[in-house]
Amino acid sequence: MKSLLFAAFGALFGFILHQAQVTNYDKIVGMFLLDDPHLMGVMGAAIGVAAAGLFILRRARARAVAGGEIDVKPKPMRPWILAAGMLFGAGWALSGT
C-alpha cells in the first residue's frame, strides 16, 4: 500500500514539475543565459516551501514515517564539492536538460 502512495506522490510531483516547465529545454537554456528568470523563480519557491515545511515539522516535533525524529543536519564541506557542483552545472548548461 505504501508503494502505491509513494508512486502516486512521485507521479504528482513529476506532473507539477512538467506543468511548471522545469523540463522545458528552452526554459533551462534561458535560465543559464540569464534571459528567463522563470526556472530560478520555481527553484527559489521550492527552496522556500521546503524550508518553511521543515521549520513547521520540526517545531511541531513531527515524526518521520519510519518513526524517527525529523532532523536535517548540515553536511560537512569537502574540498571537491565546489568543483563537482561546477562540473554538474556545466554539464546541465551544455546539455540543456
What are 17-75's pLDDT values in tens digits?
A: 889 888 888 888 888 888 989 889 998 999 999 999 888 888 888 887 777 787 778 88
Cβ–Cβ under 8 Å, residues 59 and 48: no
Whether the per-residue pLDDT at 1 is higher than 80: the answer is no
Non-local CB neighbours of 29 within 8 Å, separated by 6+ positions: 96
Higher-confidence position of 2 and 60: 60
Q: What's the predicted TM-score (pTM) here?
A: 0.65
Task: State the first-to-last Cα distance of the chain, in angstroms, to the nearest integer.
Answer: 33
Written as one letter, the residue type at 38 is H
Cβ–Cβ under 8 Å, residues 28 and 96: yes
Whether the per-residue pLDDT at 12 is higher than 90: the answer is yes
Which single residue is written with the C-alpha cell 556545466?
Answer: 90
Non-local CB neighbours of 6 within 8 Å, separated by 6+ positions: none
> Region 1-8: what's the mean pLDDT?
84
Looking at residue 33, its pLDDT comes to 86
Confidence of residue 83 (pLDDT cuts 50, 70, 90): very high
Whether the per-residue pLDDT at 96 is higher than 70: the answer is no
Cβ–Cβ under 8 Å, residues 58 and 70: yes
